């Protein structure tokens, strides 16, 4: 409802738990706050604490409610239980007309379930991503699939994501292809003069690595580390930059296996702006991150995905992303191919993004305005 006279504004609660959620929700918060029909309440669960705060600061967003839920090396069951218990009280106090969640984290599942219990309409930003394997990625495929069953609005980033939702029985009225808000965020910052803030050797070709997925814990991550070290051994022309996730399942192993190599630079997780600077500087990117699969191709950087499956196959189909899995031999082989073969490199470095045009957040805001304010 428009804010005229005594007519109440619609109230939307935007839930954010992790750094990727903050990046992708920031444009949505900005788009909604630019309009006069809605009151926006930002809820930070702080499933990730420091990494979340970094991004919120970049976009000038201060949470209205902060659950500060993070605990060291927290288990999924403990995190989920504590979230649901705290969220119920928050939803009762705020009484929003709608709740927005993004992606596939534990925050998404807990917020969607808690909102459903309170009969609050839910919108899912970046809806419809699927691998078809409930254990891969784990637990993200389960989180987004179950949360999606509870939602009124499904904001799909691509036509393929929308088709996944139609195949699960959702109607045309519930599914909206908007593009991915990660491109909105990237376009806001990529044109700036950005510094990585990490000392790197001049004249070396930069290979950027991110690896932290839960399904890669254990032997798969050992394979990834072995590939990183072998690549550094056989290529004197490169330097590898690896911002290491703080989870001890990752950081302890990575630092023990990689820290001593002269061509490998390990650092703390980079803030969003330095990370964008690192992507811009990189020759190639090795990652198991979903968001990086979307961002790096838009910056014309070839991406080798350290997973056997991806819920983002559009970039694979366009030839700008390649699946190599957590397999040492494949990682080294494909990385060396890109470093040696300029034609192969050029085929992947197209600067093409199948994930959006930078206007996804404004489309989401317009759909919500139409449905919540009664505007035609």
Side-by-side strand order, sheet with 121-125: 65-66, 38-44, 10-16, 98-102, 121-125, 153-156, 175-177
Q: Which of 157, 62, 128 is nearest to 361 (CA)?
A: 157
The catalytically annotated residue of 33, 214, 255, 261 is 214
Q: Are 200 and 239 in contact (CB under 8 A)?
A: yes
- Alpha-carbon distance 140 to 143, whole Å? 5
Q: Which of 39, 97, 104, 283 is catalytic?
A: 104
Which residue among 21, 39, 140, 215 is the active-site one?
140
Catalytic residue among 126, 223, 271, 295: 126
371 is catalytic: no
CA distance 59 to 185: 9
Residue tagged active-site, from 130, 144, 154, 212: 212
- Does the active-site annotation cover 223? no
Whether 245 is a known active-site residue: answer yes
Q: Which of 245, 312, 328, 363 is an active site residue?
A: 245
Contact indicator for 147, 109 with CB cutoff of 8 Å: yes
Is 271 an active-site residue? no
Q: Is 366 a catalytic residue?
A: no
Separation CA 67–CA 111 (nearest Å) = 12
Place of tokens 């491109």: 183
Exposed (0-12), middle (13-18) or buried (19+): which is 172, by Cβ within 10 Å? exposed
Residue 214 annotated to the active site:
yes
Q: Residues with catalytic annotation?
A: 104, 126, 140, 212, 214, 245
């Amino acid at each position: 409802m428009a804010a005229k006279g005594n007519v109440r504004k619609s109230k939307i609660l935007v839930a954010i738990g992790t750094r990727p959620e903050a990046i992708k929700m920031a444009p949505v918060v900005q788009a909604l706050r630019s309009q006069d029909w809605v009151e926006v309440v930002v809820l930070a669960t702080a499933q990730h604490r420091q990494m979340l705060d970094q991004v919120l600061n970049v976009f000038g967003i201060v949470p209205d409610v902060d659950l500060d839920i993070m605990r060291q090396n927290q288990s999924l069951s403990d995190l989920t239980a504590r979230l649901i218990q705290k969220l119920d009280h928050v939803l009762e106090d705020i009484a929003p007309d709608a709740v927005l969640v993004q992606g596939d984290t534990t925050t998404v599942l807990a917020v969607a379930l808690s909102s459903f219990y309170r009969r609050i309409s839910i919108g899912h930003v970046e809806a419809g991503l699927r691998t078809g394997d409930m254990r891969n990625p784990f637990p993200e495929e389960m989180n987004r699939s179950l949360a999606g069953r509870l939602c009124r609005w499904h904001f799909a980033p691509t036509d393929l994501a929308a088709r996944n939702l139609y195949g699960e029985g959702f109607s045309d009225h519930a599914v909206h292809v908007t593009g991915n808000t990660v491109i909105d965020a990237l376009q806001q910052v990529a044109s700036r003069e950005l510094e990585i803030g990490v000392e790197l050797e001049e004249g070396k070709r930069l290979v950027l690595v991110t690896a932290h997925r839960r399904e890669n814990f254990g032997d798969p991550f050992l394979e990834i580390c072995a590939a990183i070290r072998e690549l550094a051994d056989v290529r004197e022309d490169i330097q590898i930059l690896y911002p290491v996730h703080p989870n001890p399942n990752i950081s302890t192993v990575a630092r023990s296996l990689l820290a001593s190599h002269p061509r490998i630079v390990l650092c703390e997780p980079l803030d969003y702006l330095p990370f964008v600077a690192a992507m811009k500087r990189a020759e190639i990117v090795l990652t198991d991150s979903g968001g990086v699969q979307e961002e790096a191709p838009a910056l014309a950087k070839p991406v080798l995905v350290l997973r056997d499956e991806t819920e983002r196959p559009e970039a694979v189909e366009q030839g700008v992303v390649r699946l190599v899995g957590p397999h040492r031999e494949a990682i080294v082989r494909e990385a060396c191919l890109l470093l040696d073969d300029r034609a192969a490199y050029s085929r992947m470095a197209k600067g093409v993004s199948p994930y959006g045009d930078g206007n996804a957040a404004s489309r989401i805001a317009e759909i919500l305005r139409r449905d919540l304010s009664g505007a035609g």
